[in-house]
Chains A and B, each alone.
Chain A
């Protein structure tokens, strides 16, 4: 993938800003922006375009979240250019920039594959912080090979922390030998609770035993309780005898006094209150009687003054009726003149109304006018006739107006119809249109294919030109098969293996040389010690010489004659002896030295042996290296043979793969070109046939033929317009014809209706004229005239009815006169019957006087009746007082009888005696009750006899003994009850208490906790183990290729300060990543990561990252490398070196570097070729 452009349509500080990355094959793009220019926003926009705008994006300070838009145009590996717009949201965030319609969610999947945002940022993005953190991580990892490579390849700067975190988390959860970790603590708690749960259980067998114990204890309590009761009863019996002595004495005295009061009756408690109440009642009744008699005398005197004449009172019902009539009489007399005047007005108005109608009617009197009103009943019929006449005239007028109005539209439509013209056969044109519409897209397709063809041709030419080492044309390329992927993979595998072995061998060789030098120096030091170093060989040689001399001496001594070679000489033996002794001495001296200098000797021997071994090993390793070189050159030869047709052969399989991919792209484009050519031919043939059809049709219908340049689409559009016009005209024609038909039908109907209405109107007009005659109206009178005449008649009739109708004015005047006469007669008659003389002329005044007299008589009469009633009540009161006096007397007598005394005066004394007797009897009963208790249900007399017969002191002793026994038993009973209570308390614990199920629930809760923690632990421990293993396997797989590539990058990045990266060993002989450099004396030195400067460690990290990325790019779709200001702390030399590395790397994939340092731009421009470096300003 290569980004062609980034559209910052609405994002961060940008509005419609565009960054164009199209120049160059891949290119190193330097995006420069000063502070606040929006460099960070642009960087975020690039990532957000690919992976979506983050939910909490802070780039909304200028454009609202919903309005954020980023556009991107990119070219995929197969050369296809695509573009999209990214908006913020959760779904459908990818839009087609041309139509603004959503693109499928997997639109970017072909280029991004499984790369998501975090992976992209860790692999293809690097900024200064990541670089520093990565360098620091390498230092902290102390060069550990697996972790260093894994960390750099994944872009992780916290691998060590993550590993440590996982392990610490696991240890916090569980340790096999610990006690503090959570799980260990829970497991301990679990065991404790299980133990406690067993302790909390109260077994059912225990309960059964407890219940048996309770039963036994209860039985014992029952027995003791019974015994105690017996003892108590005995004590009580004796105590009762003692208690009875005093009451018995009292009883005797009381009985004697009662005997003296025998004959005194026991009076009721309320006796005194009752007899005193009776005495008070009698005294009250006497006083009330005296008061009533005095009042009676006074009232009788007043009654004599209240007498009235009886005749007047006899008419007390008839006279008041005059009051009602009196009001009516006076009202009628005041209304009479007004009624008489109104009667005259009505009559005059009726006559005036009729006179306006017909002057003959003015002279008619009441009796003559009435029949006139009756004969006019036919007026309803006449009025209906008038209405009919009016309706007919209006209808006729409406019809005639309609006929007039329709004539003009009819003429207009006939004219329009005549003006419409005929058109050709529409159906055939419709068919033609369909054909044109079907073929119209072919033109676009044809143009599209032609354009595509041109693009493809151009693309093929471009691809061919860019295909390294290829001089042939397309056809030759199609025929060239080239090696297959398996072959490349095999070559790559063998090449990597050889490289790995060579590196290993070189490393080994260097180590061997170093070791050899060390051993040689050691031997040299031993040799420089002064004396030469004796060896075992020297000893062996000395001993052999010694033995040889001895053998000669021996053979001479044993067989002197046999020595022919050297004849025995006198001095010879001596010489031999001396020689022998010397050799013995030499051998002994050597042996002594060997013993004495054994350490030095053995060290010298070891050094010599080691030097020998190392020299052999060096020879072997050099030989192996030579073999590897041969093998490598053979492989390279084979490799070149496979690529014979090419002018140049790339050394690296990755490049070859890239060549093959490019070749495949060219082949795909060639195939596409051929397909396009075929399609273009097909489209051209189809379009020519369609044009011929159009021309024929135009000729047939006399329509102008289309021009050559006119497109099918234009012709289809014109034809469509033609058809639309014809269709519209046809619709208009049909509409006009329908309207004409409808107008004609209406005209005919209106004509018929006019004739019918004219006939009917003539008949009605004749009947009308006849109907007017009775009303005295002329023949030309209209219905309105008739209405006016009838209104007048109705008003006249109403006036006459008001005057002479039932209850009219005339009847009311006659009624008033009759009522006045009857009233006068009635007043006179009542006065005479009541004996009251009257002499007034107005009957109303007489009537009022009569009413006054009656009122006065009635008042006097009512007062007399009231006094009579009072007198009667007083008589009754006196009678009741007499009765009360008698009753009270009788009651007092009854009390005397009850108390047994002769008169009421003795009642108080008798009552006192009765009270004394009652008190004594009550006291006796109390004493006897006490004695009964002492006698314990036996008769008192028996108790008395018993008391008399016993000795008081003996009885007291018996009471004491029984009490002692009871106390003893009571104590035992308390103990037994306490025991029973204890047992019952234990039993009660079984009824309550939920300790066991509480403990059981606790067990389950702890188990749940353990399960949770154990699951966490399992996950964490497995994750840690997996990570360790992943680091190891990654190391095995990628160590060789990564180190080889990283060596080159590191050398470049450090401006040759280091010669490369390789594997060394630390003090504990563990393999570590080291940098190698050459010392001033030309020897190679290794520097462990931990000993590097911060800058070098950062560059080592960057070299390793680039190395893995290069590996990755060989097998996957390229993605741009985004570098964010990593050079800010590099010196110019290394910054320049880094830019050169990035420029070189940009041959593999697009590299976009963001920076806000101007001097970096200058630096880059000064050294990097223009066709590689492209600068963009924000």
Chain B
């Protein structure tokens, strides 16, 4: 019986995205999250005395070229060498684009498999055969799996591949293949990389994406880590081990049944108190999503800036736990009856009527959005191009934002009315 580790998509030194400046936070932990996750991976390999570690692509991140990143990778692989553990990696799309892959020489216990043709490494002492092929350039669109060699009958066969398989949302469609392509190779284990969400595609043989080692933004929530694979003959069992240094989580608060704003705050406290223990002491970054349709909608959506500050205060007051708020999403809707009736009458109704028309009439929406043209021209691409960024050109995004504008207006006008 022997063990190995299957990891992928380390993206070393890739930053945690859209995290506000944390005045009193563990800045070094948040900043070096991917490094700490890599250290955790090496610690686990040494502790479990694995035979080798597989990294199925993307050790580095895109065009990030800071030699210190490569040297940190070297230092960790050197720790593996001291424990007599080898590392086998393939270049993923990010590695292929990265200069460090060529310029930073890894220690002798680490080996990149060829990117020109499929390469097989046989470890006679334990009877393992590792087949793999890296990316020659950033965009590999042919089916690499088909070219992989036949299985070695006397060995435990492991296929290593950086692929989007038959396509996954949010990931470029590289080295596409089908599950059948992989199964037909009759390998005992397929260690896949590229897709950042952990996924077990098949249990016999095991075909799995280990996911990335450290979540870097809110869409990479939940535990992140690697598979610890135990091999007994031709049978393998894979156990997931969380290795991330910082955890991302979304806390959803449905306001439908809430009647008082204090309940929103207490619900947030409860939700965070429930989420924190599941992080095993890791710092936690949360996004709060306010959803549902209820009487508190106007109060929340009317003063989002004030609520944002209150939520941040609550999250930072969570006692010993290291919890940070990434952002608050106001996705609530007005109660149906209020919306319908109010849209009919008078000055207040005019506001609602314009909102309703903007929801269906592009011309009205364009007229309102004319105010935002200058802003759009000045915003960085990083913000305007991502799915959850500021998408002023996108009618869907604009309409979602407008949902809270009516409430904001009602609240402001009323606040003015209360203090003549």
> Is A1033 an interface position by the 8 A CB rule?
yes
CB pair B18–A1019 under 8 Å, yes or no, is no
CB pair B351–A1026 under 8 Å, yes or no, is yes
Chain B proximity of A130: nearest CB distance (Å)? 6
> Is A234 an interface position by the 8 A CB rule?
no
Q: Which residues between 332 and 360 of chain B lie within 8 Å of chain A, taking CB atoms?
A: 337-338, 341-342, 345-348, 350-351, 353-355
Which residues of B lie under 8 Å from residue A84 when comparing CB positions? none
CB pair A1018–B348 under 8 Å, yes or no, is no
* Known contacts A156-B417, A1004-B18, A203 near B409 by CB under 8 Å: no
Which residues of A lie under 8 Å from residue B382 when comparing CB positions? 1007
Q: List 24 A-B contacts (CB under 8 A).
A: A90-B259, A90-B260, A114-B345, A118-B418, A122-B417, A129-B420, A156-B347, A156-B413, A158-B417, A158-B419, A162-B415, A166-B412, A201-B65, A990-B67, A994-B68, A1004-B18, A1008-B327, A1016-B305, A1019-B404, A1022-B368, A1022-B401, A1026-B368, A1030-B351, A1034-B347
- Given the complex of chains A and B, what is the CA–CA distance between A203 and B98 in angstroms? 11
> Is B17 an interface position by the 8 A CB rule?
yes
> Is A256 an interface position by the 8 A CB rule?
no
Chain B proximity of A1124: nearest CB distance (Å)? 14
B216 — nearest CB in chain A belongs to which residue? A1004
B304 — nearest CB in chain A belongs to which residue? A1019
CB pair A1001–B31 under 8 Å, yes or no, is yes
Which residues of A lie under 8 Å from residue B71 when comparing CB positions? 207, 990-991
Chain A proximity of B89: nearest CB distance (Å)? 16
CB pair A155–B405 under 8 Å, yes or no, is no
Which residues of A lie under 8 Å from residue B19 when comparing CB positions? 1001, 1004-1005, 1008
CB pair B99–A205 under 8 Å, yes or no, is yes
CB pair B412–A1023 under 8 Å, yes or no, is yes
CB pair A201–B412 under 8 Å, yes or no, is no
For A175-218 the 0/1 string (1 means CB < 8 A from B) is 01000000110010010000000001111111110000000000
Which residues of B lie under 8 Å from residue A114 when comparing CB positions? 337-338, 341-342, 345
* Known contacts A201-B66, A204-B104, A1001-B30, A1011 near B18 by CB under 8 Å: yes
Chain B proximity of A460: nearest CB distance (Å)? 31
8 smallest beta-carbon distances between A and B, as pairs: A158-B416, A204-B103, A114-B341, A176-B374, A133-B420, A154-B347, A207-B67, A1030-B350
- Given the complex of chains A and B, what is the CA–CA distance between A414 and B389 in angstroms? 99
- Given the complex of chains A and B, what is the CA–CA distance between A133 and B342 in angstroms? 25
Give me 6 other A-B pairs in contact (C-beta within 8 A), A204-B104, A1018-B401 excluded: A150-B347, A154-B413, A156-B417, A205-B103, A1004-B16, A1015-B304
CB pair B66–A202 under 8 Å, yes or no, is yes
Q: Which residues between 52 and 77 of chain B lie within 8 Å of chain A, taking CB atoms?
A: 64-71
Which residues of A lie under 8 Å from residue B326 when comparing CB positions? 1008
> Is B116 an interface position by the 8 A CB rule?
no
- Given the complex of chains A and B, what is the CA–CA distance between A990 and B346 in angstroms? 68
CB pair A1008–B354 under 8 Å, yes or no, is no
Chain A proximity of B259: nearest CB distance (Å)? 6
Chain B proximity of A2: nearest CB distance (Å)? 20
* Known contacts A1011-B383, A1014-B390, A1018-B390, A1024 near B371 by CB under 8 Å: yes
* Known contacts A1025-B371, A1027-B409, A208 near B383 by CB under 8 Å: no
Stretch at the interface among A302-310, A358-366, A1108-1116, A1153-1161: A1108-1116
Which residues of A lie under 8 Å from residue B379 when comparing CB positions? 187, 1010, 1014
Which residues of A lie under 8 Å from residue B184 when comparing CB positions? none
Q: A153: which of B31, B346, B353, B402 is its contact (CB, 8 Å)?
A: B346
CB pair A994–B380 under 8 Å, yes or no, is no
| Residues in chain A within 8 A of chain B (CB atoms) | 90-91, 113-114, 118-119, 121-123, 129-130, 133, 150, 153-159, 161-162, 165-166, 174, 176, 183-184, 187, 190, 200-208, 990-994, 996-998, 1000-1001, 1003-1005, 1007-1012, 1014-1027, 1029-1031, 1033-1034, 1037, 1108, 1112, 1115-1116
CB pair B345–A1115 under 8 Å, yes or no, is yes
- Give the total of B residues in contact with A, Cβ under 8 Å: 77
Which residues of B lie under 8 Å from residue A1017 when comparing CB positions? 375
CB pair A113–B341 under 8 Å, yes or no, is yes
* Known contacts A1001-B16, A1004-B18, A1034-B347, A996 near B68 by CB under 8 Å: yes
- Given the complex of chains A and B, what is the CA–CA distance between A1008 and B328 in angstroms? 12
CB pair A1010–B103 under 8 Å, yes or no, is no
- Given the complex of chains A and B, what is the CA–CA distance between A1008 and B15 in angstroms? 13
For B241-284 the 0/1 string (1 means CB < 8 A from A) is 00000000000000000011000000000000000000000000
Q: A1014: which of B16, B304, B375, B413 is its contact (CB, 8 Å)?
A: B375
Most buried by A among B67, B379, B389: B67
A210 — nearest CB in chain B belongs to which residue? B67
> Is B9 an interface position by the 8 A CB rule?
no
CB pair A165–B390 under 8 Å, yes or no, is no
Most buried by B among A113, A1023, A1037: A1023
Chain A proximity of B264: nearest CB distance (Å)? 14
CB pair B104–A207 under 8 Å, yes or no, is yes
Which residues of B lie under 8 Å from residue A121 when comparing CB positions? 417
Q: Is the interface of A mostly helix, strand, loop or mixed?
A: helix
CB pair A997–B15 under 8 Å, yes or no, is yes
- Given the complex of chains A and B, what is the CA–CA distance between A936 and B99 in angstroms? 57
Which residues of A lie under 8 Å from residue B308 when comparing CB positions? 1012
Which residues of B lie under 8 Å from residue A1020 when comparing CB positions? 408
Which residues of B lie under 8 Å from residue A204 when comparing CB positions? 65-67, 70, 99-100, 102-104
> Is B188 an interface position by the 8 A CB rule?
no
- Given the complex of chains A and B, what is the CA–CA distance between A246 and B27 in angstroms? 72
- Given the complex of chains A and B, what is the CA–CA distance between A405 and B345 in angstroms? 94
Chain B proximity of A1098: nearest CB distance (Å)? 13
- Given the complex of chains A and B, what is the CA–CA distance between A114 and B21 in angstroms? 43
> Is B289 an interface position by the 8 A CB rule?
no
Chain B proximity of A1010: nearest CB distance (Å)? 6
- Given the complex of chains A and B, what is the CA–CA distance between A1026 and B355 in angstroms? 8
- Given the complex of chains A and B, what is the CA–CA distance between A204 and B68 in angstroms? 8
Chain A proximity of B73: nearest CB distance (Å)? 11
Which residues of A lie under 8 Å from residue B420 when comparing CB positions? 129-130, 133, 157-158
Which residues of A lie under 8 Å from residue B67 when comparing CB positions? 202-204, 206-207, 990
Which residues of B lie under 8 Å from residue A996 when comparing CB positions? 13, 66, 68-69
CB pair A157–B390 under 8 Å, yes or no, is no
B18 — nearest CB in chain A belongs to which residue? A1008
CB pair B30–A1022 under 8 Å, yes or no, is no
Which residues of B lie under 8 Å from residue A1009 when comparing CB positions? 20-21
- Given the complex of chains A and B, what is the CA–CA distance between A617 and B229 in angstroms? 97
Chain B proximity of A1164: nearest CB distance (Å)? 27
Most buried by A among B27, B100, B402, B412: B412
Which residues of B lie under 8 Å from residue A153 when comparing CB positions? 346-347
Q: A203: which of B18, B99, B406, B416 is its contact (CB, 8 Å)?
A: B99
- Given the complex of chains A and B, what is the CA–CA distance between A1138 and B202 in angstroms? 84
For B14-44 the 0/1 string (1 means CB < 8 A from A) is 0111111100000100111000000000000
- Given the complex of chains A and B, what is the CA–CA distance between A204 and B70 in angstroms? 8
Which residues of A lie under 8 Å from residue B30 when comparing CB positions? 1001
Chain A proximity of B208: nearest CB distance (Å)? 30
Which residues of B lie under 8 Å from residue A202 when comparing CB positions? 66-68
Which residues of A lie under 8 Å from residue B380 when comparing CB positions? 187, 190, 1007, 1010
Which residues of B lie under 8 Å from residue A1000 when comparing CB positions? 13, 15, 64
B99 — nearest CB in chain A belongs to which residue? A204
Q: B347: which of A205, A990, A1021, A1030 is its contact (CB, 8 Å)?
A: A1030
- Given the complex of chains A and B, what is the CA–CA distance between A1034 and B351 in angstroms? 9
Which residues of B lie under 8 Å from residue A998 when comparing CB positions? 31
Which residues of B lie under 8 Å from residue A161 when comparing CB positions? 416
- Given the complex of chains A and B, what is the CA–CA distance between A1037 and B104 in angstroms? 72
Chain B proximity of A190: nearest CB distance (Å)? 6
CB pair B103–A207 under 8 Å, yes or no, is yes
Which residues of A lie under 8 Å from residue B32 when comparing CB positions? 994, 997
A116 — nearest CB in chain B belongs to which residue? B338
- Given the complex of chains A and B, what is the CA–CA distance between A1009 and B64 in angstroms? 23
A1015 — nearest CB in chain B belongs to which residue? B390
